[in-house]
Structure 1
Amino acid sequence: MNRRRRLVQGVLFVAFVLVPLVEIYVLVQVGQVIGAGWTILLLVLDALLGTWLIKHEGGRAWRALREAIDGGRMPATEIADGALILLGGTLLLAPGFVTDAFGILLILPFTRPLFRRLLAAAVARRLTIGSIDVRPPSGPQGGAGGPGRQGPGPGPGSGPVVRGEVIDDE
Structure 2
Amino acid sequence: MPFVILFLMISWPVLEVASIIQVSRWIGGIPTFLLLAAGVAVGAFLVKSQSRLVGVRVMEVMRSGGSPEKTLLDSGTTSLAGILFMIPGFVSDAVAILLLLPVVRGFLWRGASYGVRTRGGKWQARPQQGARPEPQGDAQGPVRSETVIDVEFTEVPRGEGKGGSSAKRTDSPWNKG
TM-score by length of 1: 0.61
Q: Distance in 2 between matches of 1:63 and 1:73?
A: 14
Aligned AA for 2:7?
Answer: F
- Corresponding residue for residue 23 of structure 2: 30
**Cα offsets for 1:16-54 (capped at 9, x unmatched):** 122222111110011112222221122111211222233
Q: By percentage of residues, which structure has more strand? A: 2
Q: Residues 76 and 124 from structure 1, CA distance in 2 versus in 1: closer, same or farther, beyond 3 angstroms? A: closer
Q: Residues 20 and 126 from structure 1, CA distance in 2 versus in 1: closer, same or farther, beyond 3 angstroms? A: farther
Q: Distance in 1 between matches of 2:150 and 2:66?
A: 31
Structure 1 residue 88 corresponds to structure 2 residue 81: yes
Identity %: 28
Aligned AA for 2:97?
Answer: I
Larger Rg: 2
Q: By percentage of residues, which structure has more helix? A: 1
Aligned AA for 2:43?
Answer: G
Q: Residues 72 and 95 from structure 1, CA distance in 2 versus in 1: closer, same or farther, beyond 3 angstroms? A: same
Q: Where does structure 1 lack aligned partners over 5 or more consecutive residues?
A: 1-5, 135-155, 166-170
Q: Distance in 1 between matches of 2:148 and 2:56?
A: 44
Larger deviation: 35-44 or 50-59? 50-59
Aligned AA for 1:132?
Answer: R
Q: Residues 88 and 44 from structure 1, CA distance in 2 versus in 1: closer, same or farther, beyond 3 angstroms? A: same
Q: Where does structure 2 lack aligned partners over 5 or more consecutive residues?
A: 117-125, 135-144, 152-177
How many correspondences in the alignment?
Answer: 129
CA RMSD of aligned residues (A): 2.9
**How do 1:20-169 residues align onto structure 2 when only pairs under 5 Å count?**
20-106=13-99, 108=100, 111=101, 113-125=102-114, 129-130=127-128, 131-132=131-132, 163=149
- Corresponding residue for residue 12 of structure 2: 19
